[in-house]
Chains A and B, each alone.
Chain A
Amino acid sequence: MCSLWVVLAFCCLGELRADQNLKPQIAAPQLATNNPTLTTVALEKPFCMFDSSMSPKKSYVIYLYAMKESASAISSLVTDNSSKPLDSTFQQTSGGQLGPYKAALFDVPNCASPPKLADAGDVNKVSDVLKQYLFRVGDDATCLYDPNFLAVCNPPLAPDTTYRFKYVLVESTEGIVKDQTLWSDPIKTRRVKLPLKIDTWPGRRSGSMIVITSIQSVLVFFLLAGLLASVSSAVMRPVNSSAETRHVSQTIQQSEPRPQLSSE
């Protein structure tokens, strides 16, 4: 009865659905928009996936295993012969190439009161919401190179590679695997393009450039033509005016001697 209300509450929240296939799911895209990145994948924690296998008096831990999809042909077992979880690391499996490696270890997420994704908008609550809701595979860039690191190392994944993930429920006192999900759907990390390949050619010329250049060229032509015309007309005219003045002075000279003759 109690669990029925819980399921209804989930449906009302509309964010976490416990009735999907039991596979690890990628974190809600409306919350984690940058997912998957080049070297990380953020997965939703296994809410209410193992409820049927957990008994109330015992304590449990969840292990997360990751492997490259190509490794599924080699080995995809996460338990050894005695039902104990595999203790493989990133280095031992060459980053998940030879088989699954243990990427994380965390407490069983609270099925009764899951984090509300709408709370992510609140600055004070967002850290808790993110921590409780999702787990980022590939988050730790330094643990591989730190010789003092003793916890489970979660190094960055390889770009442009397909990975698959699995959650395993382990009972903490006996260390035995109680339940496991299926392997997730293949999730591929991003690939990068080279900036050399970016084409910076602007394409065709813009209209304003064509208008300015063409009109200006025409105007300059007219200016030079006008300059030529005015200089040539200025050069031509003094020739005509000097001829006129010479003609006028000649007529004056011709008219002058006659009065002298008549006076004599």
Chain B
Amino acid sequence: MAKSDDGIRILQGLLVFGNVVIGMCGIALTAECIFFVSDPHGLYPLLEATENDDIYAAAWIGIFVGFALFALSILGIIGVIKSNRTLLLVYIILMLITYAFEMASCITAATHQDFLTPNLFLKQMLERYQKSETENNNDKWMTERVTDTWNKLMLQNQCCGVRGPSDWQEYLSAFRITHKDADFPWPHNCCVMDAQGSPVNLDGCKLGVPGYYNSNGCYDTISGPMNTHAWGVAWFGFAILCWTFCVLLGTMFYWSRIEY
């Protein structure tokens, strides 16, 4: 009898510890997802225009799942300590639902990160940057946001195009339709700027003289934060789910052993 009593105590202790860790991880997940949703790098308009912004949907789900995990962990601790069958049954059912949502968030983030390739951003940049004739309000809204984002990106990171300034020369674009190649082989934001925000030497920039134009592409500055975002949501969620799996199995076993 004493042995099984000890065993029950150890199981209770482990479950309480497991729930404490779940609660803390839940808060961490909420905080991480709020950080990603707040878009500190200002890259959301690019994703919104590609209509491929599901890594943000995964982060939104992560915010609510994290909070739910925290609340349920408290419920679980109370249920384990009081050995209350009803509480623990409620805990198990709600935890399973939360588990399903978190699984959806992880898989969405991991899957949609695969879609973020250079060609995706290249095509969108060529089709939307400085597009002059927009069809409807939605198109106009997205075009303005894409144009502003690209201008900011090119100025702040001293880069040009997705792979390089040659993107503007190799492909036809909405920009090319309104800006003649003789004056704008590439946007003037690709030029090295002086302190007043105008090109240091416009002819040097147009001819491609080294030192007067930005020859590197912006893809790294776009993909870096987005990959961090997607991996952060996917793999941290995966880790939480693995831990929650063990705690849930333990709780189910404990629940089935409680006497009425």
Taking Cβ atoms with an 8 Å cutoff, the residues of A that contact B are 27, 30-35, 37-40, 42, 120-121, 123, 126-127, 130, 134, 136, 138-141, 156, 159, 190, 192-195, 198-200, 202-203, 205-206, 208-209, 212-213, 215-216, 219-220, 222-224, 226-227, 229-231, 233-234, 238
Contact = CB atoms under 8 A, between A and B. Distances in A.
Given A121-B211, A193-B172, A195-B173, A223 B201 contact: no
Given A40-B182, A141-B182, A209-B111, A230 B256 contact: yes
Given A40-B181, A40-B182, A193-B171, A220 B100 contact: yes
A212 B107 contact: yes
Contacts of B119: 198-200
Given A38-B181, A212-B234, A226-B248, A200 B171 contact: no
Contacts of A205: 111, 114
B165 interface: yes
Contact of B169 (A156, A190, A199, A233): A190
Given A216-B107, A219-B245, A227-B92, A136 B207 contact: yes
Please provide the 9 A-B residue pairs with the shortest distance between their CB atoms, ordered closest to farther: A34-B208, A33-B208, A230-B256, A195-B126, A209-B110, A38-B181, A230-B252, A192-B172, A32-B207
Contacts of A200: 115, 117, 119-120, 123
A261 B92 CA distance: 56
Interface stretch (B31-39, B76-84, B144-152, B235-243): B235-243
Contact of B256 (A206, A213, A220, A234): A234
Contacts of B111: 205, 209, 213
A194 B176 CA distance: 12
A195 B171 contact: yes
A26 B148 CA distance: 37
Contacts of A34: 165, 169, 185, 206-208, 213
Contacts of B213: 34
A193 B170 contact: yes
**Which of A136, A193, A195, A219 has most chain B Cβ within 10 Å?**
A195
B128 to A, nearest CB: 10
Of the four ranges (under 10, 10 to 19, 20 to 34, 35 or more), the interface on chain B belongs to 35 or more
Contacts of B253: 226, 230
B207 to A, nearest CB: 4
B192 to A, nearest CB: 9
B209 interface: yes
Contact of A216 (B126, B165, B211, B238): B238
B182 A138 contact: yes
B154 interface: no
Given A156-B180, A156-B182, A126 B96 contact: no
A39 B182 contact: yes
A231 B122 CA distance: 54
Contacts of B123: 195, 198, 200
Contacts of B256: 229-231, 233-234
A206 B113 contact: yes
Contacts of B212: 126
20 contacts: A31-B209, A32-B207, A33-B209, A40-B185, A121-B211, A127-B201, A134-B207, A192-B171, A192-B176, A198-B122, A199-B119, A200-B115, A202-B120, A205-B114, A213-B110, A226-B248, A227-B252, A230-B253, A230-B256, A238-B260
Given A38-B181, A190-B169, A209-B111, A230 B255 contact: yes
Contacts of A202: 114-117, 120
A192 B169 CA distance: 7
Contacts of A35: 207-208
A127 B205 CA distance: 11
Nearest to A217: B103
Interface string B72-108: 0000000000000000000010001001100100110
B248 to A, nearest CB: 6
Contact of B235 (A30, A32, A206, A208): A208
